[in-house]
Amino acid sequence: MSPSTSPPFPDDVPTHPLLIVDFKLIEAKDTLEIEKLRHAATNLGFWYLKNHGAEELVDRMFDLGDDIMNLPLDEKMEYEQGDTGRSFGYKASGANAVDEDGTLDSVEFLNISKDDILSYPTPTHRTYPSIVNDRMNSTVQPFLGVALHVMQVLLGALNDLLGLPSGTLAALHVDGEASGSEIKIIKKAPQTNGLPDDKPSLGAHTDFGSLSFLHNRLGGLQVLVQGNDVWQYIKPIPGHAVCNIGDALKIFSGGILRSNIHRVVAPPGEQRKYDRWSLGYFARPTNTVILRALEDKSSVIAEALKNSSDKFDTNTSAGDWFARRIKYQRINNRTGPESWRASRGTEFKPEAA
């Protein structure tokens, strides 16, 4: 379903406005646009990104996703991600929990590793359905190329805003070294059986990694604004990606950058009757990178830590952080509420459990 044929986003639901950041101006190092990025990244941690150059490729990736999800379930399950903490591969609806009560999720998705795309046709982590391979050169690799460029430019701008030496964040996200970075294609079927619109299909969470580059066809993404306990929709805007900060950048920055909690529920209004599709590229640090504040490299970060009770030192590698969060969302690994808590990121405070 193209955006032009989908029902409009309704006007009577609570939405949270996001700043619109122009990628071309960030690329050109425009001072005012970089200040806008700083404001977005340090407050809500979410923003719209326009002029990113991926619009046509996004449409082709959605077409690929539709063909993948229409494959027989037994064929898709040959590429199932499993319960060991590996993210790459297929996940069927109901394989994950969305809360500490063990409520099952209602989305299916395929995750394609950045490493596997870059090393194609030789797998780095795993193989994928043949339909992915058939469009690797025409669709998947070109989309990844744009996403990597977007991430490189944004990381560079954030690197400078944090007062880090040039290339510091880039050195923590090296192509060719194993990471959890991936393309995710997600489908959620229409809500049925009279379930409420606010029943999460993807539970409240912060993102695992550094930066997200997300494209939505319908509403459903919600954010929880700090100091406000009301979930608010992020309205999809055609041609605009939604970008947000993840846990890794929050930790590296000593809390200056905000990894905000969000979730996915049914699309609002008439949109709830349609399949909801989303496509994202999720940039994550190299697996061996230790997640800790970079105060030794930036006086800006060091100063922020002086006023923080959290020293942002996880003693954990990016790979282990990612695998833990994936593993304990899986319903097959559930032993009780403690499993869900073990899957949490920087939004979770053990003393609040």
CA distance linking residue 197 with residue 210, whole number of Å: 29
CB of 129 closer than 8 Å to CB of 79: yes
Sequence-ordered list of residues with C-beta below 8 angstroms from that of 166, at least 6 positions apart, any chain: 159, 160
CB of 46 closer than 8 Å to CB of 313: no
**Which residue type occupies 43?**
N
CA distance linking residue 332 with residue 337, whole number of Å: 13
The pTM score is 0.95
CA distance linking residue 259 with residue 249, whole number of Å: 8
CB of 299 closer than 8 Å to CB of 67: no
> What is the set of domains in the chain, with CATH numbers?
20-343 (2.60.120.330)
Give the pLDDT confidence score for residue 8 in this predicted structure. 87
Residue range 278-316, pLDDT digits in tens: 999 999 999 999 999 999 999 999 999 998 999 899 999
**Helices and strands in the chain, H and E counts:** 12, 14
Own/partner contacts of 152-156, CB < 8 Å, gap of 24 or more, are 153/23, 153/26, 153/27, 154/26, 154/37, 154/211, 154/243, 155/210, 155/211, 155/283
Sequence-ordered list of residues with C-beta below 8 angstroms from that of 137, at least 6 positions apart, any chain: none
CA distance linking residue 119 with residue 36, whole number of Å: 36
Q: At what angle do helices 141-161 and 55-69 cross, to 10 degrees?
A: 120
Give the pLDDT confidence score for residue 353 in this predicted structure. 45
Sequence-ordered list of residues with C-beta below 8 angstroms from that of 163, at least 6 positions apart, any chain: 298, 299, 300, 301
CA distance linking residue 177 with residue 73, whole number of Å: 32
Give the pLDDT confidence score for residue 266 in this predicted structure. 87
Per-residue pLDDT 10s for the chain (353 aa) are 444 467 889 988 889 999 999 999 999 999 999 999 999 999 999 999 999 999 999 999 999 999 999 999 999 999 999 999 999 999 999 999 999 999 999 999 999 999 999 999 999 999 999 999 999 999 999 999 999 999 999 999 999 999 999 999 999 999 999 999 999 999 998 866 555 656 777 788 999 999 999 999 899 999 988 777 789 999 999 999 999 999 999 999 999 999 999 999 889 988 888 999 999 999 999 999 999 999 999 999 999 999 899 989 999 999 999 999 999 999 999 999 999 999 999 986 654 44
Q: At what angle do helices 31-42 and 141-161 cross, to 10 degrees?
A: 90
Residue range 62-120, pLDDT digits in tens: 999 999 999 999 999 999 999 999 999 999 999 999 999 999 999 999 999 999 999 99
